[in-house]
């Protein structure tokens, strides 16, 4: 089935080579040795990934015009915004399992590598389904609206990690040590090969991204049906997720209105998708609305700070021992 796209096979191949090259450079050169990522380093890498996305978007603008560049930019902003919600959960996972700071980047690296594969599959299947069954656009749109409303009204009390389905399923299947062994995902105890808590953390991070991809990918399909634009905007946002995590991890509790902004973004793009057949909202206006919702929620969080409770402060601090 032919899915309309601006990309030639050569463009797909070139982009995938770029992705593999950046992954090799990241882990093999810049982060060969495990270390704690400082705020300055995270800020620098955040700037690098945003700059690379901007350069890529300039290339789209040069060869394919303003409309496609706006689609990429809007998709990138939406994915970047929704990834912040992902960071909230990853902070809790790392805190709950007392992941050493020097190993957090490696977990996120392998987590994002898995996310690339999952999202490529999601995007390919989603694009093919929308091309063949156009009415699914209303299903996707309604799903996003309901998800946004659920985020607005849901009690956000966090469920303990040992009560999550992924944790319980893993513990039943895989023998796991109670302590870390450096950056190893597997180790041997008494001659038996066992997983370390770091492997469980990696699986939980992958599971988290899978859940968030169910929301974020339909949201970008509300902006464009071109799988190349959807995929590339996703990948650039994902690449910047690690540095954004280390940049924001210590101050996530300050942005208590951010979930409201993210929920309204989902409702907006869901409505945009649902009414596209009758009234098409210009991509530029979509970008402005998304930016306004996120910006307003961040500004409101800073203007009306939430009183920090002991549990809030403790939620971002490592526990004494991993709970296994």
Per-residue pLDDT for 197 more than 70? yes
Count Cβ neighbours within 10 Å for each residue of 248-277 and write b for 16 or more, e otherwise: bbeebbbbbbbbbbbbbbbbbbbbbbbeee
Answer for the pair 266, 217: CB distance below 8 angstroms, yes or no. no
pLDDT score for 62: 94
**If you average pLDDT over residues 97-101, what whole number do you get?**
82
pLDDT score for 68: 93
* 85: nearest Cα among 202, 240, 224, 241: 241
Per-residue pLDDT for 127 more than 80? no
**Residue 57: band (very low, low, confident or very high) from pLDDT cuts 50, 70, 90:** very high
pLDDT score for 159: 56
CB atoms within 10 A of CB 301: 19
Comparison of pLDDT for 307 and 243, the residue scoring more: 243
71-80, 184-193, 244-253: the lowest-pLDDT one:
244-253
Per-residue pLDDT for 308 more than 80? no
**If you average pLDDT over residues 63-70, what whole number do you get?**
92
Please write the tens of the pLDDT for every residue from 246-299: 777 666 667 778 788 888 888 888 888 788 778 878 878 888 888 898 889 889
Locate tokens 């040590």: which residue? 177
pTM above 0.85, yes or no: no
Answer for the pair 230, 127: CB distance below 8 angstroms, yes or no. yes
Q: What angle do helix axes 197-221 and 165-173 make, rounded to 10 degrees? A: 140
pLDDT score for 232: 93
Comparison of pLDDT for 95 and 29, the residue scoring more: 95
**If you average pLDDT over residues 68-81, what whole number do you get?**
90
Helix, strand, coil tally for the chain in percent (to 5): 75, 5, 25
pLDDT score for 55: 95
Answer for the pair 87, 250: CB distance below 8 angstroms, yes or no. no
Comparison of pLDDT for 175 and 33, the residue scoring more: 175
Comparison of pLDDT for 260 and 27, the residue scoring more: 260
* 79: nearest Cα among 222, 251, 206: 222
pLDDT score for 69: 93
pLDDT score for 178: 77
């Amino acid at each position: 089935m032919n899915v309309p796209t601006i990309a030639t096979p050569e463009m797909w191949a070139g982009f995938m080579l770029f992705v593999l090259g950046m992954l090799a450079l990241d882990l093999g050169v810049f982060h060969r040795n495990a270390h704690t990522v400082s705020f300055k380093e995270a800020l620098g890498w955040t700037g690098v990934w945003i700059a690379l996305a901007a350069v890529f978007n300039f290339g789209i603008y040069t060869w394919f015009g303003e409309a496609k560049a706006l689609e990429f930019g809007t998709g990138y902003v939406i994915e970047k915004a929704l990834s912040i919600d992902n960071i909230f959960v990853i902070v809790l996972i790392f805190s709950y399992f007392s992941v050493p700071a020097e190993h957090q980047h490696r977990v996120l690296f392998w987590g994002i590598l898995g996310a690339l594969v999952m999202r490529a599959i999601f995007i390919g299947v989603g694009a093919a389904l929308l091309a063949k069954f156009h009415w699914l656009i209303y299903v996707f749109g309604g799903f996003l609206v309901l998800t946004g409303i659920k985020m607005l009204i849901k009690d956000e009390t966090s469920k303990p990690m040992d009560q999550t389905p992924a944790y319980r399923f893993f513990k039943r299947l895989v023998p796991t040590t109670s302590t870390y062994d450096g950056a190893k995902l597997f180790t041997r105890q008494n001659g038996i090969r066992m997983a370390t808590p770091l492997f469980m953390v990696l699986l939980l991070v992958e599971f988290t991204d899978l859940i968030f991809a169910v929301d974020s990918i339909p949201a970008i399909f509300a902006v464009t049906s071109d799988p190349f634009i959807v995929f590339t905007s996703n990948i650039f946002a994902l690449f910047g997720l690690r540095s954004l995590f280390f940049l924001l991890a210590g101050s996530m509790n300050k942005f208590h209105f951010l979930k409201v902004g993210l929920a309204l973004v989902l409702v907006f793009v869901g409505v945009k998708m649902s009414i596209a057949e009758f009234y098409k909202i210009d991509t530029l206006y979509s970008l402005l609305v998304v930016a306004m919702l996120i910006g307003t929620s961040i500004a409101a969080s800073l203007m009306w700070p939430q009183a920090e409770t002991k549990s809030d402060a403790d939620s971002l601090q490592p526990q004494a021992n991993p709970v296994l």
